[in-house]
């Protein structure tokens, strides 16, 4: 796999850093998640392929253990508020001095500088600060955050993984590590570059929800079908729009022109009435195999069984029978081989990882009895 041999220490976080760690793990990195001690269960729902070491970083001995892990690793990924790592004596200056090849990835909302750097926040705040949230939502309604997809995952976890891969690539030439300052505000904004850079095309001149790609246009929207399900329509280009009109059984000559914005409300009402006459499956039978750009809106539990996705193996089933997306993209020679085994219990791998990183057994026992580290091998076997 592409990242085979890369060792990552991931400090347990909420959502973006776990996703970043899972991407690295899916593509072959060895990811060791450092959990707090005295927690009953991991909140990491993206722990695929990871190992868990439970370590109390509030103790000086715990800090020494982490330093030793980082000394023999390629990447450390930290998701805390600015200054937390420095307060623990685990800041980048400290760790890079000991291991100049270390890639020190800092995944935060607002980045390591600026007046918000130390403020708490979540996806919705970062998305708001990126400028993008102002563009999301239906006409005459307030801005609407599309789950926590954009800042946490696209602009956060994924962008940070890109930074890590870039830094690894650069290190193969220079031999040197570096610090990655991954701000979710900036990551989200960057993902949204098209919105900034396409403003000159007039794509976003109208109020929110009234432009071509923000549900303003009737040919770029969702419609309810007679069985209460939905279809998505993305028939932008005239040749595809023609096929949409044909599939709907409408007469193009009796409709206003596609790009007549003032007629969009009337056209939307026509589409709405027609789509409501057949079930989602009936519309799929009509539109599958055409270029009308009409697809069913699939719920998560149906996405994996859709023929197209099934043919490509786009979703996988793990040992617990849980279905989730397979890693993307697909590399032809060195594709990801995601682990299908269950997620680790907190502290399940403490002892084995410490042994592997050169701690002698007596020292491990001493740290265990002092509560600096925790080992939950038995819990894992239950």
Ligand X SMILES: C[C@H](CCC[C@@H](C)[C@H]1CC[C@H]2[C@@H]3[C@H](O)C[C@@H]4C[C@H](O)CC[C@]4(C)[C@H]3C[C@H](O)[C@]12C)C(=O)SCCNC(=O)CCNC(=O)[C@H](O)C(C)(C)COP(=O)(O)OP(=O)(O)OC[C@H]1O[C@@H](n2cnc3c(N)ncnc32)[C@H](O)[C@@H]1OP(=O)(O)O
**CB contact at 8 A, 313 and 326:** yes
36 in contact with ligand X (CB under 6 A): yes
79 in contact with ligand X (CB under 6 A): yes
Which residue is catalytic, options 35, 74, 123, 152? 152
Q: Distance (Å, rounded) from C-alpha 275 to C-alpha 292? A: 14
List the one residue from 3, 13, 73, 133 that touches ligand X (CB under 6 A): 13
Window contacting ligand X (CB under 6 A); options: 7-15, 132-140, 305-313, 324-332: 7-15
3-state secondary structure of 289: coil
Q: Distance (Å, rounded) from C-alpha 152 to C-alpha 220? A: 26
List the structure tokens of 82: 């600015």
Q: Distance (Å, rounded) from C-alpha 187 to C-alpha 84? A: 21
340 in contact with ligand X (CB under 6 A): no
**CB contact at 8 A, 102 and 70:** yes
For 180, half-sphere exposure in the C-beta direction (CA atoms, 13 angstrom radius) is 32
Sign of CA dihedral 69, 74, 80, 86: positive
User: Cis peptide before 272, with omega less than 30 degrees from 0?
Assistant: no
State in angstroms the smallest separation of the CB of 57 from ligand X: 4
Which residue is catalytic, options 122, 291, 306, 318? 122
State in angstroms the smallest separation of the CB of 138 from ligand X: 22
- Report the candidate in 149, 120, 192 with the shortest Cα–Cα distance to residue 16: 149
Neighbour count for residue 203 (Cβ, 10 Å): 14
3-state secondary structure of 307: helix
43 in contact with ligand X (CB under 6 A): yes
Q: Which C-beta is closer to ligand X: that of 6 or that of 184?
A: 184
State in angstroms the smallest separation of the CB of 21 from ligand X: 13
List the one residue from 9, 15, 267, 364 that touches ligand X (CB under 6 A): 15
The pattern of x and - marking residues 100 through 129 that bind ligand X according to CB under 6 A reads --------xx----------xxxx------
Q: Which C-beta is closer to ligand X: that of 33 or that of 230?
A: 33
Q: Which C-beta is closer to ligand X: that of 20 or that of 267?
A: 20
CA torsion 260-263-264-266 (nearest 10°) is: -160
81 in contact with ligand X (CB under 6 A): yes
Q: Which C-beta is closer to ligand X: that of 184 or that of 217?
A: 184
370 in contact with ligand X (CB under 6 A): no
Does 230 participate in catalysis according to the annotation? no
Does 272 participate in catalysis according to the annotation? no
Q: Which C-beta is closer to ligand X: that of 187 or that of 216?
A: 187
Window contacting ligand X (CB under 6 A); options: 67-75, 81-89, 245-253, 319-327: 81-89
Window contacting ligand X (CB under 6 A); options: 13-21, 205-213, 232-240, 288-296: 13-21
Q: Which C-beta is closer to ligand X: that of 210 or that of 343?
A: 343
- Report the candidate in 216, 86, 242, 71 with the shortest Cα–Cα distance to residue 140: 216
State in angstroms the smallest separation of the CB of 333 from ligand X: 35
- Exposure string for 112-134, b = 16+ CB within 10 A, e = fewer: beeebbeeebebbbbbbbbebbe
State in angstroms the smallest separation of the CB of 54 from ligand X: 8
Per-residue DSSP letters for 204-227? T-SPTT-SIIIIISTTEEEEE-TT
Please give the size of the binding site for ligand X, defined by CB under 6 A.
26
User: Cis peptide before 370, with omega less than 30 degrees from 0?
Assistant: no
18 in contact with ligand X (CB under 6 A): no
Residues found near ligand X in the complex (CB under 6 A): 11, 13-16, 34, 36, 43, 55-58, 79-81, 84, 87-88, 108-109, 120-123, 148, 152
Give catalytic residue positions. Answer: 122, 152
């Amino acid at each position: 796999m592409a990242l085979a041999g890369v060792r990552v220490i991931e400090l347990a976080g909420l959502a973006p850093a776990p996703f970043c760690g899972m991407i690295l793990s899916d593509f072959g990195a060895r990811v060791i998640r450092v959990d707090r001690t005295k927690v009953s269960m991991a909140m990491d729902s993206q722990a695929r392929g990871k190992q868990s070491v439970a370590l109390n970083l509030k103790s000086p001995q715990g800090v020494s253990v982490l330093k030793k892990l980082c000394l023999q690793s390629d990447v450390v990924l930290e998701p805390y508020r600015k200054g937390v790592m420095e307060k623990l004596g685990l800041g980048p200056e400290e760790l890079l001095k000991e291991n100049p090849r270390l890639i020190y990835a800092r995944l935060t909302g607002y980045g390591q500088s600026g007046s918000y750097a130390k403020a708490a926040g979540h996806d919705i705040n970062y998305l708001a600060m990126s400028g993008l949230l102002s563009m999301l939502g239906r006409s005459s309604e307030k801005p609407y955050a599309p789950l926590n997809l954009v800042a946490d995952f696209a602009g956060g976890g994924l962008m940070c993984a890109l930074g890590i891969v870039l830094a690894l690539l650069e290190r193969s030439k220079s031999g040197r590590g570096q610090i990655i300052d991954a701000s979710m505000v900036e990551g989200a904004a960057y993902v949204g570059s098209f919105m900034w850079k396409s403003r000159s095309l007039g794509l976003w001149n109208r109020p929110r929800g009234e432009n071509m790609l923000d549900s303003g246009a009737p040919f770029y929207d969702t419609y309810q079908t007679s069985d209460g399900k939905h279809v998505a329509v993305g028939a932008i280009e005239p040749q595809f729009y023609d096929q949409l009109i044909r599939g709907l059984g409408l007469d193009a000559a009796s409709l206003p022109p596609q790009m007549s914005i003032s007629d969009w409300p009337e056209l939307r009402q026509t589409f709405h009435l027609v789509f409501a006459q057949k079930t989602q499956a009936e519309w799929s039978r009509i539109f599958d195999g055409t270029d009308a750009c009409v697809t069913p809106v699939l719920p998560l539990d149906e996405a994996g069984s859709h023929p197209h996705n099934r043919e490509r193996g786009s979703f996988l089933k793990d040992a617990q029978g849980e279905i989730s997306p397979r890693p993307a993209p697909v590399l032809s020679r060195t594709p990801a081989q995601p682990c299908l085994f269950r997620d680790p219990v907190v502290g399940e791998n403490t002892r084995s990882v410490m042994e592997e990183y050169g701690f002698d057994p007596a020292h491990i026992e001493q740290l265990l009895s002092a509560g600096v580290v925790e080992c939950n091998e038995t819990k894992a076997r239950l």
